[in-house]
Amino acid sequence: MRNLGSLHQFLGITAERTSTGLLLHQTKYAESILARAGMTNCKPLETPSNPKTNVSTESPTFSNPTLYRQLVRALQYLTLTRPDIAYAVNRASQAMHIPTEVQFSALKRILRYIRGTVHYGLPLTGNSLTLTSYSDSDCARDQQDRKSTIGYCNFLGNSLISWSLKKQSTIARSSTEAEYRAIAANTTEIIWLRRLLQELDCPQNGSTTLYCDNTSTIALANNPVYHARTKHIEIDCHFIQECIQNNSINVHHISTKDQLADLFTKSLPNARFKELTNKLILSSETISLRGDVSNK
């Protein structure tokens, strides 16, 4: 083994030192995606998706599906440091088999948003080693198949360290079921993170707080009464209840306004999108202007 010095580049990800830790970004990679799409000088947009637009299945097929797939795959790698585009890229990924003109227009919107935020990345700080989590779900928002999208994100102190969103494989019969399945998916991630932190000599002495904005889901998690409405999610009920009893997680209510995982489950209006994005990512240009980047 040999000491390679401070981290600067790793698999296309740039690590810039700040006064509080690190900023991970993929500015050069994002610019290469824009160049591949011929959109280097495109007009920037404030959000990667339009909440008022519904993708129509009747739109003509896009003439260059190979380009569409290449761009989507490239954007999937960009989400490693850009959680703000995760939902929009996930939606674009669902059309890779037969992309349409409308779906390509939606993809170009993502690229126009990236054009204006090309210097943004993921800040990592060492202020705390306490694990906290946020879990959310929409309910049958997809008008094509009415399947819900679950999303969650996990923080170590103030640093976002993991996030995920996924369309559910079955149709949820209620918002409680959709939210409960989101909690179940997130709990498996929390258990893995807790074990990893234990191996890294950073044990979580107490239970991990998991925030959810659905009161019925929280009530079911703490007191799983199996009746006609919840019998079909009995396995998840047992799993969550076991994790609560062994002090791995502690499910708390949070207002929808403060639900950070909201960013991963739906397209949001400009003001709401900016509010949540500002809590997750940061611009390397802003850091440079503030003089926070270390020259050591």
Does 112 share its domain with 135?
no
Instruction: Check residue 137 and give its pLDDT.
Output: 85
Q: Where are the alpha helices (DSSP H) in 64-214?
A: 65-78, 86-93, 101-116, 175-199
Determine what percent of the chain is predicted with pLDDT higher than 70.
84
Which residue is associated with the tokens 């795959």?
A: 73
Q: Given the DSSP bridges, would you call strands 131-137 and 208-212 parallel, antiparallel or unpaired?
A: parallel
Instruction: Check residue 293 and give its pLDDT.
Output: 43
- What total number of domains does the chain contain? 2
Does 166 share its domain with 236?
yes
Q: Which amino acid is at 57?
A: T
Instruction: Check residue 265 and give its pLDDT.
Output: 87
Owning domain of residue 56: 9-122+272-290
pLDDT in tens, 211-246: 988 888 788 777 766 554 555 566 666 778 788 888
In the predicted model, what is the mean pLDDT of residues 81-91? 93
Distance between CA 181 and CA 142 in Å, rounded? Answer: 17
Torsion sign across C-alpha atoms 157, 161, 165, 166: negative
pLDDT in tens, 170-183: 666 567 777 878 88
Does 135 share its domain with 177?
yes
Does 117 share its domain with 134?
no
